[in-house]
């Protein structure tokens, strides 16, 4: 009888281990259960809405109308890349840092969410002074906020180590360069200053515990409908190539930083999400991706619907937002974000290097 009991206990233990492997916690098959995002409007999930005095906003209709059916502070008609990746990981969408902070401060929550936080702030740049007059959170301030909650022990160290870290920033710095006609700094010097800030960010986020870091390249910044607002830019369907050249040079520097990460930071794994190449492909064969318009904004006004922010007085709205590459004068549509996500998640190395995000997620650290 004792022998039978021992055998039954061993069998039960084996079945339990098997079940845990087959049906992991939280219903997910992935090693990552948490994402921390830093950057600008392409990643912002609503921080600017909670930032007192911030002038860069998307918290009014028709933003959010396609998926959430109400404005969320995201600068598009629905979800952004980090939202789609969260869905692939089978975790809840991250709250904006300022929203979560408010809940902790008033006592509704003791700790910050276990699925991560979004620190991104629309209109911010990698340079600390970019759009500072708009009341945004610079990338440096975003990092300070992350450091602060870690210092208060509001996020478990294990979560910090096993999370994904997203970085996407730089387009607003380039826009600022072209808007400042009085600038005496040459483009290369300006880009090197930007890359120095990115290098500092990677160094600091690693020291805070980040190990799996995803750096997003800039897209075709010279092809946004808002290019009609920049002096010397083409106002037809052609892109502003001087701006795109600057973005490509910046992206080359980003890739060098990413490839050097494992050598420079022991135990770290980085990938470059090549948004530029992905968007080039979307523009080259739009019909393949269900797109009918890759030059105009769905929502806006004027030439290319690029001279007025969506939702402002006098705006016009297209009938089928997800047939457009651009939702408003600067930002992609939800469908475009979904297409970009698919290529970063499981695409070939032309789109994510040295391997795709799905591979990174399941790597041991």
Catalytic residues, which ones? 41, 328, 331
Residue 228 contacts residue 215 (beta carbons within 8 Å): no
CA angle 270, 82, 22 (to 5 degrees): 80
Long-range CB contacts (within 8 A, 24+) of 234-239: 235/303, 235/304, 237/295, 237/304
Q: Is 137 helix (H, G, I), strand (E, B) or coil?
A: coil
CA angle 148, 42, 176 (to 5 degrees): 90
Sequence-separated (6 or more) residues with CB below 8 Å from residue 60: 71, 311
Which letter does DSSP use for residue 104 in this model? H
Q: Is 168 helix (H, G, I), strand (E, B) or coil?
A: strand
Q: Mind giving me the DSSP string for 36-67?
A: EEEESTTT-SSHHHHSTT------STTTTTTT
Task: Give the torsion through C-alpha atoms of 293, 306, 73, 98, to 10 deg.
Answer: 130
Q: How far apart are CA 194 and CA 201, in angstroms?
A: 11
Which letter does DSSP use for residue 218 in this model? P
Residue 319 contacts residue 331 (beta carbons within 8 Å): no
Residue 173 contacts residue 185 (beta carbons within 8 Å): no
Which letter does DSSP use for residue 244 in this model? H
Report the DSSP pairing between strands 269-273 and 352-353.
antiparallel
């Amino acid at each position: 009888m004792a022998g039978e009991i021992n055998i039954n206990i061993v069998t039960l233990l084996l079945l339990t281990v098997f079940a845990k492997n087959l049906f992991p916690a939280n219903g997910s098959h992935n090693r990552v259960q948490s994402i921390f995002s830093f950057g600008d409007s392409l990643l912002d999930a609503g921080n600017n809405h909670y930032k007192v005095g911030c002038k860069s906003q998307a918290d009014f209709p028709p933003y959010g109308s396609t998926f959430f059916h109400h404005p969320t502070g995201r600068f598009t008609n629905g979800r952004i890349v980090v939202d789609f990746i969260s869905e692939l990981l089978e975790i809840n969408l991250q709250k904006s840092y300022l929203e979560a902070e408010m809940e902790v401060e008033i006592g509704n929550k003791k700790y910050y969410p276990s699925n991560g936080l979004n620190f991104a702030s629309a209109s911010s740049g990698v340079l600390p002074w970019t759009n500072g007059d708009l009341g945004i959170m610079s990338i440096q301030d975003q990092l300070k906020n992350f450091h602060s909650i870690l210092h208060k022990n509001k996020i478990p160290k294990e979560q910090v180590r096993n999370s994904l870290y997203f970085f996407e920033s730089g387009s607003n710095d380039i826009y600022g360069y072209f808007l400042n006609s009085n600038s005496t700094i040459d483009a290369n010097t300006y880009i090197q200053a930007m890359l120095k800030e990115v290098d500092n960010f990677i160094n600091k986020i690693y020291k805070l515990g980040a190990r799996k870091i995803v750096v997003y390249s800039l897209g075709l910044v010279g092809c946004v409908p808002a290019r009609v607002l920049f002096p010397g830019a083409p106002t037809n369907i052609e892109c502003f190539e001087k701006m795109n050249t600057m973005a490509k040079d910046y992206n080359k520097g980003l890739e060098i930083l990413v490839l050097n990460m494992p050598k420079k930071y022991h135990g770290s794994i980085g990938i470059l999400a090549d948004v530029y190449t992905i968007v080039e492909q979307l523009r080259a064969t739009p019909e393949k991706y269900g797109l009918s318009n890759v030059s105009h904004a769905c929502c806006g006004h004027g030439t290319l619907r690029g001279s007025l922010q969506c939702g402002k007085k006098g705006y016009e709205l297209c009938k089928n937002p997800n047939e457009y590459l651009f939702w408003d004068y600067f930002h992609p549509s939800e469908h475009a974000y979904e297409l970009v996500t698919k290529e970063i998640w499981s695409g070939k190395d032309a789109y994510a290097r040295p391997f795709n995000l799905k591979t990174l997620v399941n790597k041991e650290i």
